[in-house]
Amino acid sequence: MHLERLYKSHNSLILALDVGTSSVRAALYDHAGNVLPETMVKNERVLTATEEGGAEIDADVGFGQVVAAVDDVLEKAGSVEGEITHVAVSSFWHSLVGVDESGKPTTAVLSWADTRSREYVAELRKKLDETETHNRCGARFHSSFWPAKLLWFRKESPDVFKRTAMWLSFSDFAAMKLTGGPTTSVSMASATGIFDIRRCGWDEELIKFLKVKNSQFPPIGGEAETFRLEAKYARRWPRLKNSRWFPAIGDGAANNIGAGCTMGSKAALMVGTSGAMRVAYGGEPPEEIPSGLWCYRVDRKRVIVGGALSDGGGLYHWLKDNLRTHASDDKVEAEIARRPPAGHGLTFLPFLFGERSTGYHDFATGAVLGLKATSDAIDIVHAALEAVAYRFAEVFDQLNQVRRIREIVASGGALRESPVWTQIIANALDRTLSLPEILEASSRGAVLLALEKIGALENLEALTPPKGANFVPEKELRGVYLKARTRHRDAYDALMSSAVDAMMAE
């Protein structure tokens, strides 16, 4: 079923905001879910990295970037007729910021990549049952989630911890500034690691252990609950003064919706700066969540299960910059395509930015094994791209324990810019990857979910996803990739076991 046949209003528009770690994007969509390309805005930004593992942004600076994106999209849409009835938002998962009684930030906004709390993961594992907590809250103990970060703040910054009246996701902080209330969505709360994904409420056991109060977390909004702008911003943006704002949903959930992957048998595979592979479906979380995966919620009637890789397109760019592959991207791609798969003999462990799925080793680092005098920069880049594909294969195997995956829909700028990498992933998974022509899948997903909530769209699952290029696995290479993946897994197991033993000995 095509969305254009379901509903269309020529005078109604939705403003979409996609708040990511590396950019803030905005655009107008019509009520048929079509983006108006002339209104698209992308404002790039960079998180501040610190020597001790910080990855953060000043909360007020981050909020100013959201305001600037709205300013820009409204300016570009000046000649576009129609009423902006709603604002739909997707935002990066796992962020954490504290605010005091007056709503002023007591901390910077910490992203998932902030690893300063990693030493407290061991304390969580020692004093709590990780398997039980994972199955209840959908998240392993890891520095990317709230429990470790809150424990770190309580132990390392007790004054900040005491002054903090409420702990929020960045999108909750922005909503508080814009609409006057810090209400969050089930989707955003479910990815904090401190939320009971089965009861749809903040987790009582973790709250007690962390010595915080339920009132220090934002209230969970209703399924179709919306808000209006505070007077200050209604005056700044007269065109939005009557618009209804939905609480943000997680960017991963929005990406699945935008890519047409809400049926459970379709997996969304995304490679942007980082990477993820996810299935979303109507119903309840699996009885037992596989150890290498997480489980969050799209909303109260849908769950999303998947794995996340910290190294994706960011790794590719880091390699090209630091290995000084001076050739153009097209020439690098052509050279990789020319060389035989895994012919370099290298094993690359892609953990330059740490590991999440599937092992959740907080102290993981990258490694290159098998270097020879004949190895060159292209060999290393080639091995790294293949290694990310093998990590996706590990996630894929565990996802198939939850739902039988029949289709994989790919998205993300890194794959769109690298057909060679997309083909490598198809080969490693031994599955066809579809790469549809979708502009801004996360923004589109937030809009489609909003359309469902307001009754303009009857059923997300009935939508026909856009068509695109298919990357078919090269069957004659199956044995080569299986052998190389086995070598990768053996190196992973050996090095991670050594790292754990060394950490335990300290």
Q: Quote the tokens at residue 300.
A: 């109260």
Kindly state whether residue 12 falls inside one of the protein's structural domains. Answer: yes
CB 136 within 8 A of CB 194: no
pLDDT higher than threshold 90 for residue 503: no
pLDDT mean over 44-57? 90
What are φ and ψ of residue 305, in 5° steps?
-120, 140
Q: In this predicted structure, what is the pLDDT of residue 501? A: 47
Domain that holds residue 372: 257-506
| Mean local confidence (pLDDT), 234-253 | 97
Q: Closest Cα to residue 466, out of 432, 434, 436?
A: 436
Same domain? For 282 and 425 the reply is yes
Cβ–Cβ contacts within 10 Å for residue 63, how many?
A: 21
Boundary of a domain, candidates 247, 281, 313:
247
Contact of 100 with 56, CB cutoff 8 Å? no
- Claim to verify: residue 194 and residue 84 sit in the same structural domain: yes
311 and 220 share one domain: no
Taking 80 as the threshold, does the pLDDT of residue 466 lie above it? no
Mean pLDDT over 114-137 rounds to: 97
Q: Could you tell me the CATH number of the domain that includes residue 412?
A: 3.30.420.40
Residue finishing a domain among 247, 274, 294: 247
Closest by CA to 57, choosing from 170, 165, 171, 177, is 170
Q: Is the pLDDT of residue 393 over 80?
A: yes
pLDDT for residue 413? 86
SS3 call for 24: strand
Pair (314, 367) in one structural domain: yes
- Confidence band, pLDDT 50/70/90 cuts, at residue 380: very high
Instruction: Give 9's pLDDT tier (boundaries 50, 70, 90).
Output: very low
170-188 residue pLDDT tens: 999 999 999 998 899 999 9
What are the structure tokens assigned to 304, written together?
């999303």
Q: What is the pLDDT of residue 385?
A: 97
Torsion of the alpha carbons at 358, 364, 368 and 369, rounded to the nearest 10: -80
Q: Please spell the DSSP secondary structure of 309-361, one letter per residue.
A: ES-SHHHHHHHHHHTT--S-HHHHHHHHHHSPTTTT--EEE--TT---TTT--
pLDDT digits (tens, 9 = 90+) for 205-215: 999 999 999 99
Where does the pLDDT of residue 204 fall: very low under 50, low under 70, confident under 90, or very high at 90 and above? very high
**240 shares its domain with 303:** no
In this predicted model, what pLDDT tens digit does every residue of 404-437 receive, in sequence order?
Answer: 999 999 998 899 989 999 999 999 999 999 999 8
**Measured between alpha carbons, how far is 348 from 382 in angstroms, rounded to an integer?**
9
Does one domain contain both 231 and 286?
A: no
260-286 pLDDT per residue, tens = 999 889 999 999 889 999 999 999 999
Reading the block at residue 298, the tokens are: 């799209």
Count: domains in the chain:
2
Are 38 and 177 part of one and the same domain?
yes
Q: Please indicate, yes or no, whether residues 283 and 198 belong to a single structural domain of this protein.
A: no
What is the structure's pLDDT at 4?
Answer: 42
> Does 84 reside within a domain?
yes
> Of 152-156, 182-186, 221-225, 232-236, which gets the smallest average pLDDT?
221-225
Domain assignment present for 297: yes
Q: Does one domain contain both 80 and 136? A: yes
Quickly state the pLDDT bin for 326 (edges 50, 70, 90): low
Cβ atoms of 323 and 371 within 8 Å: the answer is no
Mean pLDDT lowest for which of 39-43, 158-162, 278-282, 461-465? Answer: 461-465
Residue 10: predicted pLDDT: 57
181 and 63 in one domain? yes
* Claim to verify: residue 204 and residue 311 sit in the same structural domain: no
**H or E segment and range at residue 465:** none
Q: How many CB atoms lie within 10 A of CB 369?
A: 15
Could you tell me the pLDDT band of residue 500, with boundaries at 50, 70 and 90? low
The kind and range of the H/E element at 469 are: strand 468-471
Mean pLDDT on 50-64: 94
pLDDT surpassing 80 at residue 219: yes
**CA distance between the termini of the chain:** 59
| Under 8 Å between Cβ of 159 and 98 | no
Write down the mean pLDDT value for the chain: 93
Quote the pLDDT of residue 458. 83
Is 348 inside any structural domain?
A: yes
Asked if residue 6 has pLDDT above 70, the reply is no
Q: β-strand 83-91 against 12-19: which pairing, if any?
A: parallel
Is the pTM higher than 0.75? The answer reads yes
In a domain, 252, yes or no: no
Is pLDDT of 321 > 90?
A: no
Task: Calculate mean pLDDT across residues 367-377.
Answer: 95
- The answer to whether residue 506 scores a pLDDT higher than 60 is no
Domain co-membership, 97 together with 163: yes
Q: Which of 187, 221, 247 is the last residue of a domain?
A: 247
